[in-house]
Amino acid sequence: MEYRSVIGGGLVVCGVLLGTLQALQYVRFPETAAVVLLNTVPFIFVAAAIVYTGVTIAIREEYDEYATLIVSWAVGGAVGFVAVFTLLTGTSTQDGLTLLLGAVDAGSAGMLAGLLVGLYDTQNRQTLATVEQFAQKLETLNNYGKVLNQSTGVESVSALCIEVVEFVLDGSGATFVIAENDEAYIVDTTLPDIDTGDLERAKRELHETEALNTVIDGAGFDKIRNEQPGETIAIRIPAGDATAVLVAVYYDIDDVDETNIDLFEILAAHVSTALSTVDTQRLQTEFMESI
């Protein structure tokens, strides 16, 4: 975080200095309106774009891993543009100050070009990392799906679900509930102090939605996580004559990653298939014994 802030702050300082140089250049060498429009104003916008990029890098956490890569592209672009400018003006008869200011302009343009390339490179790397992460999680989830389909009891199904939520979908905790008639029974949970009344409110909220569709922070969901900051997701799963409800809690985040929600629904589909092979009569007996 601090490292990213230093890089972003450095870009802000560079942008401000470049903008200041453009303003001083205009004061020192006043030109016609046309020259100002074509020579000074564009580089003022370049400096502003560099400042904006620096602020963006400093405040957005997704650039933690890639801030160094972006600034490397920026430095490389600036050096490359200045080198080309130097080659083109090597035999020029212009005075040294004019050439120096021209090199500053070239470096400004090169830095912005490098930043754009760096941001594009970062976006591609982030997309590739997201795809690879999703593929890895999906493969792991499918392996769990095979084990779920071999389960002979609701307890094993419940334990596997909670394991997937916590270790594959990055959840903070989970609860697996079987709802039958007007009763809801907690089969397994890693969440502390869940009130049955809160579960009933959550179950009613889920009853309004389609099966195997995720509900995010519905009625009573904040109670399930003891009103701590975060987000709660839940899904209703067909289980023969009964209905299973899987609840996952994520503490201290504003939005659950969309990828995890997709995988959560795939997990629910696996659970529905697994529960369809469990003897419902024996399932009902297990519920009654657990009361």
Question: What is the reported pLDDT for 266?
Answer: 92
Average pLDDT over residues 148-172: 87
* More confident call, 283 vs 265: 265
Domain 149-290 in CATH: superfamily? GAF domain (3.30.450.40)
Report the distance separating Cα 102 and Cα 29, nearest Å: 13
% of the chain beyond a pLDDT of 90: 7
Rounded to two decimals, the pTM is 0.70
Is residue 246 a contact partner of residue 266, using CB atoms and an 8 Å limit?
no
Burial (0-12, 13-18, 19+ Cβ within 10 Å), 92 = exposed
**Biggest CA-to-CA distance, the chain:** 97
Nearest to 144 by CA among 125, 174, 123, 168: 168
Domain ranges of the chain: 2-131, 149-290
Question: What is the reported pLDDT for 28?
Answer: 63
Report the distance separating Cα 185 and Cα 177, nearest Å: 6
CA angle at 61 for the pair 76 and 113, rounded to the nearest 5°:
25
Residue 52: both structure tokens together:
């904006």
Nearest to 190 by CA among 127, 248, 268: 248
